[in-house]
Amino acid sequence: MSIAKTYNPKEAEEKWYAYWMENGFFRSTPDEREPYTIVMPPPNVTGVLHMGHMLNNTIQDVLIRRARMLGKNACWVPGTDHASIATEAKVVAMLKEQGIDKKSLSREDFLKHAWEWKEKYGGIILKQLEKLGASCDWERTKFTMDPDLSESVLDTFIRFYNAGYIYRGVRMVNWDPQGKTALSDEEVIRREVNQKLYYVRYKIKDSDEHIVIATTRPETIMADTAICINPNDERYTHLKGKKVLVPLINREIPVIEDEYVEMEFGTGCLKVTPAHDLNDYELGQKHNLEVIDLLNDDGTLNENAQILVGEDRFIARKKVAKMLEEVGQIEKIEDYKSQVGFSERTDAAIEPKLSMQWWLKMDELAKPALEYVENGTIKLIPEKFFASYKHWMENVKDWCISRQLWWGQRIPAWYNEKNEWVIAKTEADAIAVFAEQGKTSEGLRQEDDVLDTWFSSGLWPMSVFDGVRNPDNADFQYYYPTNDLVTAPEILFFWVARMIIMGHDYTQKPPFKNVYLTGIVRDKLGRKMSKSLGNSPDPIELMGQYGTDGVRVGMLLSSPAGNDLMFDVSYCEQGRNFANKIWNAFRLVKGWETIDSPATDAQKTAATWFESRFNQAIAEIDEHFANYRLSDALMATYKLIWDDFCAWYLELVKPAYQAPIERETLETVKRLFQQVLKLAHPFMPFLTEELWHDEIFGTRDAKDCIIVASYPTAQSFDTQIVKDFEIVQQIISEVRSIRNSKGISPKIELPLAINATNIDFSTYQESIVKLANISDLTFVQDKVQGAVSFLAGKNECFVLLENNIDVDAERERITKEIEYLKGFLVSVDKKLSNERFVQNAKPEVVENEQNKKADAEDKIKILEESLASLS
């Protein structure tokens, strides 16, 4: 069977993914092998594949495929997150398009629509991950609102409540007026925005005097309940005990004193609005101030504002400013930049708001989660993120775990007609608890709020194995703790810390051993990729254009852990070219005819060299994987295949045009090619599986697939032959370079003489003659007059160009090279003559500079001799 001239990724991808699925290669069940477990960070059920997902899941797939090939029981659990805020917003928008207002629906009717939406759209991203080649155990797919996972969430809420960690109370929260729900601090994105700073005059009661106060939020003036001055501020001593009138509504408020006010900031006076600022709230509590909330849940002004009732807050801001100007109470307006919080999910500007919520005490719970990372039980990769993690965990605040939504796990709290409440999983349990407490259960109703989505996803590594409800089950005992978590740094506290907290609370174990933190995918200008900027390519289209393997390679070539990836489609083109390189190398080998004879000495030497280089590369690649340097592991694989295997080994053993190859050599090539394919498989699963099954390798059983082939393990190798061959490669490359620089055809044979100092070149003589196209290779002990010379290691080589050289041009080239090397030598000498450098630098750094000096001096000497010979 002839192999196609060009690789068809689409055909291979569809064929082999289906084949892997049919044969259950992704399926994992507990057995006697060592488990290797990854739980997928569940993408939002609202989501579609973007470049961040591509990077994250490619890394996970590389790790899981390699573990599978290493003989481990590899289990990658996929799933999606119900994403309360984002999904509810999507469903509300869908209903609005149908002319349905959420307010007109009962909770049950709304949830029916939400589940219908989830069933229709919720699996899109997982199907897209299949195109990426994700080798997940799809039979284990979970959704954070599956009945068993939801029950685990309710059990955890009750567990924390019974342990005294959960309480209900009115506190200041971050309020999302668009989502109409509270948010945790971590769900608020702070951005610097351009604003106006309004200097407003407040009239002092029974006086013609006024004081000026600067504010960016004039729409909240009607909720002011005090003016605060610093007791040490002599400018305002006369105001102590006075009353001030709130502009526009003339309500009397007191002047209070507190050192919290910075005398140098603004006008040194502060308007106190306890309902609409966290710091003002704390000040109000301290001074027993009235709390006036003038905003509705949707960000419009309510009756407490007295004016502009029903207006949106931002429209009200402009109108209040205009009204103040009209009555002469604006002194001036300045441009001002300040940090404003925005909802991570809806991008609405956040309002500080007093609200009755459910809270989880975090102080005690956070301590073990910090200790695990501090003592290395859990490793953050790269380590640079530890400082942020430590800061978060040491300054953790109580977590607002309730959300004013319908989509999610409903909080298991129950109220009677007297508004007394109990915690219970079911209505029947609630009735029983009320009875035990001697209270009525008349008018029983359940809490309307649902739990924060992060509360449920915090259980993910346990709940996907049913470890919360049934910790003794075989799956949980076998797969937990998991091995590697691959996720984004921005959810290190959101999600990673909370999984550690919950995992420890239940099991006294960490939920995973390593946390690989990817960077952000940015465009080549450094901008974060986003739909709004229009700078994010469609991953599905990319895979269609460059092949999935090409895109996977392109993503990983430049994505070291924790560092942002400056993505450009040229990386995918490079990945596609790599796939084509392997494909064409295979076509070359498959096209060879054989002769039934043993390998030549040169072919055996080439095989010995490549096997040594191969084992050296495996050791390097294994070390890269051990340190989670996947980009480096891929680059080492790339260079081994492109350079060492294709450009050197295959060229060394390739027969002359239309001549047959020795059968022994071909068998060696096929054996090594299969090893190379196995090394590439985690990165390029489809191409490697396609070639693995070619008839050139013989007939394979149905289960004899590269996906479950044994990953190459590093064997001992001949370091000397690797070093010697580096010199051989340098000689061949230099001869080729000389030909190129002189415009000499590659077909013209050239004589070469070598003054060998530390290598027996007779072993490599045939290879040098073949690849450098040498007419006569001789070994000398003296200079060869009239030749172009160069150093390969410490071996001086001479190429006799005879009539093929332009003496004047060669003299000019050598002169320029000598000048360059002399300049380089000056810079090296400066370093070595600097005592501070020599004393403070590491010994190996100093030694490296000394070697540079010696090499430059040797080259200058040879070049000067060559120049003299040309004369």
42: DSSP letter? P
Residue 97's contacts (CB-CB under 8 Å, 6 or more residues apart) are none
Give the separation between CA 92 and CA 11, rounded to whole angstroms: 40
Long-range contact pairs involving 775-778 (C-beta distance under 8 Å, separation at least 24): 775/749, 775/750, 775/751, 776/751, 776/752, 777/751, 777/752, 777/753, 778/751, 778/752, 778/753, 778/754
Give the N- to C-terminal CA distance of the chain in Å, as an integer. 61
Do residues 546 and 572 make contact, with C-beta atoms less than 8 angstroms apart? yes
Q: Nearest-CA neighbor of 669 among 697, 693, 642? A: 697
DSSP for 418-482?
Answer: T--EEE-SSHHHHHHHHHHTT---TT-EE---EE-HHHHHTTHHHHTTTTTT-TTSHHHHHH-S-
3-state secondary structure of 669: helix
> Phi/psi of residue 622, each to 5°?
-60, -40
Single-letter code of the amino acid located at 754 = I
Q: How far apart are CA 92 and CA 346, in angstroms?
A: 13
Q: Are 638 and 578 in contact (CB under 8 A)?
A: yes
DSSP state of 309: T
SS3 content of the chain, % helix, strand, coil (to 5): 50, 20, 35
Residue set of the binding site for ATP: 531
**Beta carbons of 803 and 824 less than 8 angstroms apart:** no
For every residue of 787-812, DSSP letters joined together read -EEEEETTEEEEE--GGG--HHHHHH
Determine phi and psi for 720, rounding to 5 degrees. Answer: -65, -40
Per the listing, tokens 């070390």 go with 623
Known binding-site residue numbers: 531
Query: Do 191 and 344 contact (CB within 8 A), yes or no?
Result: no
Return d(Cα 793, Cα 782) in angstroms, integer.
17
Q: What is the DSSP letter of 530?
A: -
CA angle centred on 633, ends 632 and 634, rounded to 5°: 90
- Cross-strand pairs, 400: 359
Q: How many CB atoms lie within 10 A of CB 12?
A: 21
Beta strands 142-143 and 79-80 are parallel
CB 522 within 8 Å of CB 565:
yes
**Spatial separation of the C-alpha atoms in residues 294 and 587, rounded to whole Å:** 75
Kindly state the DSSP code that residue 410 receives in the 8-state scheme. Answer: B
**Residue 178: Cβ within 10 Å count:** 16
